[in-house]
Amino acid sequence: MSPREAEWDLVVIGAGPAGSAAAIAAMRADRSAKVLLLDAAAFPRAKARGDGIAPHAMDLLADLGVDVAELTAGSEPVSRLRLVSPGGVRFARPFTRPAFVVPRRVLDLRLVQAAQAAGAVLRRHRVRRLRPTDPCGSHRRRHPRPHGRRRGWRGETAPRTSATAKSSAPCRRPGRT
């Protein structure tokens, strides 16, 4: 099946922490869902960030079934915060719960791998434009959905490739409610 012909239940653009978590959540909601994760970059990829991860983020990921110990492997928990201003003012406090520092090159790779392990398909594509397709148009659905037909979107990812997905908005034909 070529990318142009592929029909996906969900296409997530960007496989950073938000995109990977969205793909994992979708796969958890429906294990049979066809979820495509697109990213312009090849993983692992670097990110200029502080690399700190708050425990609340870990809670959310754990709720999605992500193995947090695996995600933070090799990183020591950080239990104190110390700030020093350019003027020399110092501030130090213990965290109520430990945080982690994991390089984004490592963290994002692990997360995208967790999304793949959950069943999402990762492809390297830069999405350039999104346009809605005919909401009641020619999309053929192989498996009827209980919620009826859905509006379609076509994402133009790169020359000669594209992917379609259904949004959550139901298709409404004129004269119907």
Ligand X SMILES: Cc1cc2nc3c(=O)[nH]c(=O)nc-3n(C[C@H](O)[C@H](O)[C@H](O)COP(=O)(O)OP(=O)(O)OC[C@H]3O[C@@H](n4cnc5c(N)ncnc54)[C@H](O)[C@@H]3O)c2cc1C
Contact positions vs ligand X (CB under 6 A): 13-19, 38-41, 47-53, 126-127
Of 19 and 152, CB closest to ligand X: 19
Half-sphere exposure in the Cβ direction for 55 (13 Å, CA) = 10
Q: Which residue is nearest to ligand X (CB)?
A: 16
Of 6 and 171, CB closest to ligand X: 6
Length of the chain: 177
Question: Whole-number minimum distance, CB 158 to ligand X, in Å?
Answer: 9
The pair of three-digit structure tokens given for residue 129, joined into one six-digit string: 């434009």
Question: Whole-number minimum distance, CB 57 to ligand X, in Å?
Answer: 6
Question: Whole-number minimum distance, CB 13 to ligand X, in Å?
Answer: 5
Phi-psi region of 14 (alpha: psi -120 to 50; beta: other; left: phi over 0): left
- In the chain, the amino acid numbered 16 is G
Of 73 and 78, CB closest to ligand X: 78
- Give helix 17-29 / helix 55-63 axis angle, nearest 10°: 30
Of 48 and 92, CB closest to ligand X: 48
Which phi and psi angles does 85 have, rounded to 5°? -80, 165
Whole-number Å distance between alpha carbons of 33 and 9: 6
Question: Whole-number minimum distance, CB 133 to ligand X, in Å?
Answer: 19
Question: Whole-number minimum distance, CB 143 to ligand X, in Å?
Answer: 28
Kindly give, in sequence order, each residue whose CB lies less than 8 Å from that of residue 29, ignoring residues fewer than 6 positions away: none
Of 76 and 140, CB closest to ligand X: 76
